[in-house]
Amino acid sequence: MLGNGNRSDITVKVRFTKAQINILKNALGQINGSYRVHVREGRSAFSYPFRIFPPLHSYPPIRGFKDGTFNQQFMDKLLELGKGLNANTRNSASVRMDTFQIRAAVFAIRAYIDFVRHLRYQLRLKKHEEDRMSLHVDDQSFAQLKAKSKRVIHSLERHMKRANRALMTAVDKEHYTAQTVVWKAHLRWMQLHISYHKPWGEPNHHLRKQRQRNIDDLVTMAKRGIRNEGYRPADEDELRRLMRLYAKYARDGRQGRWTVPFLLANRADISRTYHLAHFVLDRLKLKELPKP
């Protein structure tokens, strides 16, 4: 039976192993520590550089950019969860969490992986391999962290479904929707104000124009590849979005040797247009061309 919409702290019991607690402690400790610095100094070391890189002039341009809305209630829940886990030193623990605390825990774990990746990047620039080993951010340790974190996130997401069902049973739909909207705005605030871990770099207008030209060329190649595979053309805006996504994946090393410079080095190569075409076809449902 639906509730009256005033109950927002509906919790479920979540049991953690000691290994899971250790993952959560590090993740929550890092993000809560960043928040405390933000409160004390007005900004965190892990804030988006709004003054240096105005969002509306970024590449690609971010339409309707919003930096979120801080919510003290959700932030207090995150701080409370961190304190509770820090106080627990047993081999396992059962904790009562609501759906938004579980979502915050998942976010904190993902943000912590980004933080460690950022730390690895900084140490790589300084060529401090010994520091990477001592801080346990070397390749092997980082791979283990990602694997363990993935298991914890998978477990939390199962509990999140239970917590969602419990909340939706206890409150009306309008209340649930309103709380979710507020949470998403607060999540966006945390992403930009206390957990932004991407390298700043230097503004480079020439590089921006070059990347735009690269996207234009990738779009042209993808169109040719899609036509060769016997499919109707994709929507122009959607195709450009996917080519920007491809360029991002390639920069992150997720496309192997198929980097943007590699593809553009021989734009007429059928294998390269084929590769781009199937990147699109895997993500869009395009209609086949009529048979001759």
pLDDT at 128: 57
Summarize the confidence of residues 264-288 as an average pLDDT. 93
Q: What is the pLDDT of residues 226-261, one digit of tens each?
A: 999 999 999 999 999 999 999 988 887 888 889 999
Range in 27-36, 53-62, 218-227 with the lowest mean pLDDT: 53-62
Give the whole-angstrom CA distance, residue 231 versus residue 224: 10
More confident residue, 123 or 183: 183
pLDDT at 59: 44
Place of tokens 């690269």: 214
More confident residue, 224 or 56: 224
Residue 272: count other Cβ atoms within 10 Å of its Cβ.
20
Cis, peptide link before residue 203, omega less than 30° from 0: no
Summarize the confidence of residues 151-175 as an average pLDDT. 94
Q: What is the pLDDT of residues 78-129, one digit of tens each?
A: 999 988 887 766 677 889 999 999 999 999 999 999 999 988 887 776 655 5
**Mean pLDDT over all residues of the chain?**
85
Give the whole-angstrom CA distance, residue 96 versus residue 104: 14
Q: What is the pLDDT of residues 133-158, one digit of tens each?
A: 556 678 888 899 999 999 999 999 99
For 167, half-sphere exposure in the C-beta direction (CA atoms, 13 angstrom radius) is 26
Report the predicted TM-score, pTM, of the whole model to 2 decimal places.
0.63
Which of 159, 172, 29 has the alpha carbon at shortest distance from 103?
Answer: 159
The residue type found at 274 is Y
Give the tokens for residue 291.
Answer: 């048979």
Range in 29-43, 46-60, 152-166 with the lowest mean pLDDT: 46-60
- Please report which helix (H) or strand (E) contains residue 95, including its range: strand 92-98
Summarize the confidence of residues 190-206 as an average pLDDT. 77
Position 15 pLDDT exceeds 50:
yes
Give the whole-angstrom CA distance, residue 222 versus residue 278: 9
